[in-house]
Structure 1
């Protein structure tokens, strides 16, 4: 499974419940609150998101709403609930789904947390449940925090109690954009009264109300009067006449609908407000069939009178012709589903052509809802239509018998109840017809097209889980699959054979097939094909046998040529085919007898190394930098390092302000978060040059401070208040370097750490030198007292000394050692000289200069192999092995586990006892690849657990 992603394509964290102690305590308090209040409470409501249904963490929702100001404040901001849903890890890619999600999230807070929020955060008694939980959050009853019974009654006042102005209430036919923007639900349209035809007689009774007196002779009157009478029907009381058929029908319909709303007072003080949110069931239309009466059909009654008179006078053989039953008014016939089913079962070619053409479309477009169990006889009709393929290519007319008494003497009669066990032998004994592959008559092509459409319909329908389970119980399906797959090798039959294999792939997980089953043998025969699609689908169908059942798929009776073909297909650079072959081998090698057959059919000493190579299929080298110690920044101090001796010699004779500029570049650097006092930096400058003889400085303190801003663009002089409200004059934006650097080359100097005074408080040399050669020469002459000749040669004599470099443990005490040996050791403390760029276009060293006050982080580079991985829905952060490497290691583990239980293992051990090669099959197969298995276990984290179990099986000695 891929990682969860939000609308922007970025990886996101899906909302989950954090069952912390705080969460459990909050849910307990919330449950007690709702029990006391008498309202329903669901601790973990479910919401639909683009990643599936999630359970809402009410504690997270409660905290998030409070952080945003509360429920009422959140409702004032448009799309605030959708934004909150995204922050909580609930996402939808489309606006429609996001709108529904945000509304349901708002409804959950309103129903389960709103009353508790008022009591918990404000210490108030929440409004009664009749005006809070029992109302929808989309109702316009105002904020919940200030909702009372009085303002609730005002906001819930019924229509007609007061006349709203045009600004207060817009027309129903013109929805405003504000309602849509605020996310509120639209108002329901007014209820429509279904049309009820007048079935009363044309002759009117005396006591019929004038509002319903509409004679048939006045049908051409003005429409206005008809509409006015229809409106008066809803407002004026009517006289009830039990003898009037119209009143009888209206009374029956009123009894079905319940009490009429016209008799409910619009403004009743005694009416209960609890019934306001109830929405009555909308009226439904009742199909009416006219009834023959002497008034509306006198011709029919006159005919009946004549027949009675004829029978009375002696014509007893006269019989009235039965009048056909007319369909109800407005009835357009059966739906397309029923019509296609009946047309398919009719046997009429034209009707079957119509039915199959539409069944293909329906099964493709509505495959998620079109089920066999909803249309009885559909599966049998499609199978019987597909069975006609036998008559096109063989001299046989297949038929299914459902009597249970199978007659084996007639090969054309198939057992429709339990399946035909010898269907393959019957097909082989048939005489084929001479059929040309690329030239057929029109009638032949039409029949084959209808048969293909019937098989395609079944193929589309079994893609649904329920239909696959249903078809697995239809035993005649296995016979028709065997018949189609054993058809002649013609190009015109390639399509229908692929449809049959697709059906088998979806049905076999629910079938228990033994080695003698005709369908099992038929699928194995397909593995001898040269068609890649046929091989792929057949391998998947065989590997999925009994996958959803408790029975074990033993896969026995596989021919040796099929096993050799599967091993050869593993060598191809075809991931889909390799995956199907490995799935088959995983099922096959799980049985000990099959491993014995595999050892006899193929050379396993060549198969095992290839399976080991597949452990790195698609692997990528991943490099990761691990931080051992994080980056460290030195604290800013007022201490300025001394000026190196060689730079002092150059700068002492330099004029101002150049000398000031070069001195600042050598000993200071920019740092926006640091500062130094003006007196400290001025004293450091005076200490470098002012106290030495022969050095003259005419630079004042004010000019020096201004020069600092010229050298460092971000440095500026400021006045700050220190402890005790004492003013401090500082220069912000610079700090003293830990080690000096050359003002031209920007190379850092190195501090000499030779201890000149040992003891409890050691004293170091602390002189700075540029490059390792100057440092090495300084240690030899100044600390070891070695004299260098005029030609630069040094006499290699024995000296008695120790290495006093700080933290050195090589020569802690004085000892006699050759000078060459000692100098080689001292060079390990001296840093090497940096390489300077020789090209003219090289980047200047100043741009690559690192900050001296920052100690770089210590890192370690790790490199390993990473194959295809997936994440578990329950543990999204844990990567698990997947794909071809996982299938390969599972096959290897089955071989290592079961090969020691075969008879070949005993024979191999007997040969080793008589002087042959020692060890069994595991030693013979896995010993050459042990180094690679250990390497994969070390570098591939996802496969480490599987390789460990494999090595445990291989290295276990009996």
Structure 2
């Protein structure tokens, strides 16, 4: 089953589309109010890119689909779950990259517009603030949205052990000059050198003796301190060279740190007790590795410079496989050419989107020259291409590379073929044929790129090569290379102007007399696409009659691809008046036109839709309870309480969560039905017990107290309502009301009796209203009576008239309900029966059916459907015929023939009159084709007028 709300694209493929139902409108309204209250942006119909164009997301279907799969958090746990959900909703992509982007955007749309509403709606929780939900991307790693809090969001946004300093804790920026080329930024200062911290263990105040010799001890202490540090961290002996730069730098930095870096002898009188518990950090070993620089290793750098100078002098541009293949192809060495062609086939297939002829001058000419060697294998000739412009015309083997060889077909006809066995060749012959085939295959792969096809359209030897290959002998070993040649022609002909004398045009038409489906199909496409991308018009003149007959025969085949190619050819061919004249002479158009009309329904299917004329309605609840029918009353009179109460409630009431009835109204109705039994000695329920029994019969019913008008308390029973007609509590059949009018006064009175089934209703009308007596054996005398039909709003017999009783009863039975089927033997009521409610008036619907063929959607507006495929091509061919057939000489001859005697009208009358009914039917039932059929009918009708 396709997803509801999707539109069929092809068989098994459905495109996502919004189903604008009442439920959808209410859902979007709730979402809009929710986002307005939350203060977040909301887009009711977000757009997503698919392989069939942009589609608008149905947020209601997306919401239901995610809930069905366990919710947003559960769906995010499964890999590629969002991509699978996109496919289920009718959103497709062939490549994995596009599908990944589509699934991410679908997930982002749910996260942004539905996640908070999902938490509130499905779980009854307050969603997280918008700063940690909608303001963040769905790709951020902040945990599930259902359990996300501000604290968990802060923890997830920080790395372990990382603390973000506040604005007050950050160091103030030093004033630095602005850079000339970076006016908006500041230059960074060099970070200070890191010096390991050495704790102070001496007293904070020095003695007088130490103070008088302050400079010397500090210098010595700095030297001794850093000597010890270097011994620990760099493994340098303490009596190292004092002129070492590293030693000087460390000593200067230690001196700048002040008294904390100097060694002061400990004084137990003034020392702090806190320093006794201090334990210094263990030393850190930093490995040092030598680095080659021009200063410490000049030999190595001189060697590198010498190698760079040698490479620059040789002009070596690196191992470029493209240049290597091009040079190998030009070398004419068999082994090198085999290497080049093997790699060119791979490159053209794998890198065809970037491998262009214009980037490698001489590549196209080299491949063509190699492909021309195929003539040497099958004919006594060696084809050569001359680009001088003054080649010898008498030499058959020399081709004009500047202007093309006009008489190439005549030259091919003069060649002497060689004797070649189709199934057995020498090894050298097979190797040469393989290399030629690879050259043609490389050209074929490269012209699939539009830039290469445009480039090769100006290379005239290519046309000569295609003519030579397609005129080779009919051998199985040449089938592959001929198909490659046809593929090249199909890609190049849109950029060529070929008249009817052109050798390539004539060669392609000759291929249409083949028995190979692939040859016919590719040749038809190549001929139909001549000058397609140019301003010049493709006239398609001088098409042989045998080709036209073959095309009409191919239209009868059940081959969609071949029929489509034939219709494309006919559309181009019938656009010229002279060609329509040739078509009338070549084939029987009176049989062709009906077949093309039959193709208007190719692939059509019947589509049905239920249109709601009037929506479903619900009757308002009433405090009045219908009276109990006599047969039910007789059964319940002899039933004991509380069973009698249960059956009475089941017969006259039903569940309705939105309605209620007052306790006094339902109790008085029960009293009016069985109040007379109290005097007969039968027990009756009290009012309190009766109200409690209502909740036992109907699970949704409950007694409540509400405030009425004027703040008056009202005692009601919520969840039930009175039936519009009683129901048999055993058979579950509904009684029918008798609407026979018993009085013709100003205020007519209706019978309003209830009867179970049409048979009892018929007996009641006969005996009570018509005064007919029924015999003992059930027979009724068919006598003539004077009466009228007094059923409510019946206009059949408004005034009394004499008629047979049988005639009147046949009419009266049309007012009675049809007999209802009894429930199954097991007592289980069908689901459809259980869901039916008597207070609901069903909707009035109308079923529409029409014919739908293949359509294509506009990328800018996916809701617009346009005709496509074989039906569109068929109507365009018919329109060309109707437009141009009246301009032919055959039209004038036919009109003169009709003037001399016979039927009137021209070719349009003769061709389209038998199919007019079918054309009107297609125009009426096929919405996509209606415009095209209307224009065709306009052409035909104008001619007939």
In the superposition, the TM-score normalised over structure 2's length comes to: 0.70
Aligned to 1:366: 351
Cα distance in 1 for residues equivalent to 2:565 and 2:675: 87
Kept after mapping to 2: 8 A contact 1:689/1:695: no
Counterpart secondary structure, 1:863: strand
Cα distance in 2 for residues equivalent to 1:897 and 1:245: 89
How far the C-alpha of 1:722 sits from its partner, in A, is 4.4
Kept after mapping to 2: 8 A contact 1:740/1:748: yes
Alignment pair present for 1:474 and 2:538: no
Aligned to 1:882: 868
Structure 1 pair 104–474 and aligned structure 2 pair: CA distance change class (3 A)? farther
Q: 1:337 aligns with which of 304, 322, 346?
A: 322
Aligned to 1:710: 696
- Trace 1:863-942 onto structure 2 (pairs within 5 A): 863-942=849-928
Deviations 1:441-490 (A, max 9, x none): 22211111111111111111111111111111111111111111111111
Structure 1 pair 328–50 and aligned structure 2 pair: CA distance change class (3 A)? farther
Aligned to 1:783: 769
- Trace 1:200-239 onto structure 2 (pairs within 5 A): 226-227=290-291
Deviations 1:790-823 (A, max 9, x none): 4544455555444332222233344454444433
Deviations 1:665-705 (A, max 9, x none): 11111223333232222221111111467483321222222
Aligned length: 743
How far the C-alpha of 1:931 sits from its partner, in A, is 2.0
Aligned to 2:239: none
- Trace 1:347-366 onto structure 2 (pairs within 5 A): 347-366=332-351
Aligned to 1:697: 683
Q: 2:538 aligns with which of 530, 536, 553?
A: 553
How far the C-alpha of 1:13 sits from its partner, in A, is 6.4
Kept after mapping to 2: 8 A contact 1:505/1:538: yes
How far the C-alpha of 1:941 sits from its partner, in A, is 1.7
Kept after mapping to 2: 8 A contact 1:721/1:727: yes
Q: 2:728 aligns with which of 729, 735, 742?
A: 742
Q: 1:622 aligns with which of 583, 604, 607?
A: 607
Structure 1 pair 149–513 and aligned structure 2 pair: CA distance change class (3 A)? farther
Counterpart secondary structure, 2:658: strand
Kept after mapping to 2: 8 A contact 1:690/1:697: no
Cα distance in 2 for residues equivalent to 1:941 and 1:152: 73
Aligned to 2:512: 527
Counterpart secondary structure, 2:477: helix
How far the C-alpha of 1:747 sits from its partner, in A, is 0.9
Structure 1 pair 161–726 and aligned structure 2 pair: CA distance change class (3 A)? farther
Kept after mapping to 1: 8 A contact 2:857/2:866: yes
Kept after mapping to 1: 8 A contact 2:48/2:55: no
Aligned to 1:207: none
Kept after mapping to 2: 8 A contact 1:508/1:545: yes
Aligned to 1:431: 416
Cα distance in 2 for residues equivalent to 1:741 and 1:288: 108
Cα distance in 2 for residues equivalent to 1:403 and 1:327: 38
Deviations 1:232-261 (A, max 9, x none): 99xxxxxxxxxx9999x9xxxxxxxxxxxx
Aligned to 1:180: none
Cα distance in 2 for residues equivalent to 1:735 and 1:674: 6
How far the C-alpha of 1:153 sits from its partner, in A, is 6.8
Q: 1:823 aligns with which of 776, 793, 809?
A: 809
Kept after mapping to 2: 8 A contact 1:360/1:456: yes
Cα distance in 1 for residues equivalent to 2:641 and 2:831: 24
Aligned-CA RMSD value: 4.8
Q: 1:502 aligns with which of 481, 487, 494?
A: 487
Aligned to 2:640: 655
Structure 1 pair 502–821 and aligned structure 2 pair: CA distance change class (3 A)? same
Cα distance in 2 for residues equivalent to 1:352 and 1:846: 79
How far the C-alpha of 1:740 sits from its partner, in A, is 0.8
Cα distance in 2 for residues equivalent to 1:147 and 1:750: 83
In the superposition, the TM-score normalised over structure 1's length comes to: 0.69
Cα distance in 1 for residues equivalent to 2:192 and 2:772: 113
Counterpart secondary structure, 1:673: strand
Q: 1:511 aligns with which of 473, 490, 496?
A: 496
Cα distance in 2 for residues equivalent to 1:507 and 1:389: 21
Kept after mapping to 1: 8 A contact 2:53/2:859: no
Cα distance in 1 for residues equivalent to 2:405 and 2:575: 30
Deviations 1:278-300 (A, max 9, x none): xxxxxxxxx966699xxxxxxxx
How far the C-alpha of 1:541 sits from its partner, in A, is 0.4
Deviations 1:871-893 (A, max 9, x none): 11123112221111111121122
Structure 1 pair 872–326 and aligned structure 2 pair: CA distance change class (3 A)? closer
How far the C-alpha of 1:584 sits from its partner, in A, is 0.8
Q: 1:418 aligns with which of 376, 381, 403?
A: 403
Structure 1 pair 912–388 and aligned structure 2 pair: CA distance change class (3 A)? same
Cα distance in 2 for residues equivalent to 1:772 and 1:230: 116
Cα distance in 2 for residues equivalent to 1:3 and 1:753: 48
Kept after mapping to 2: 8 A contact 1:911/1:917: no
Structure 1 pair 291–773 and aligned structure 2 pair: CA distance change class (3 A)? closer
Structure 1 pair 931–750 and aligned structure 2 pair: CA distance change class (3 A)? same
Counterpart secondary structure, 2:796: coil
- Trace 1:590-601 onto structure 2 (pairs within 5 A): 590-601=575-586
Cα distance in 2 for residues equivalent to 1:228 and 1:97: 48
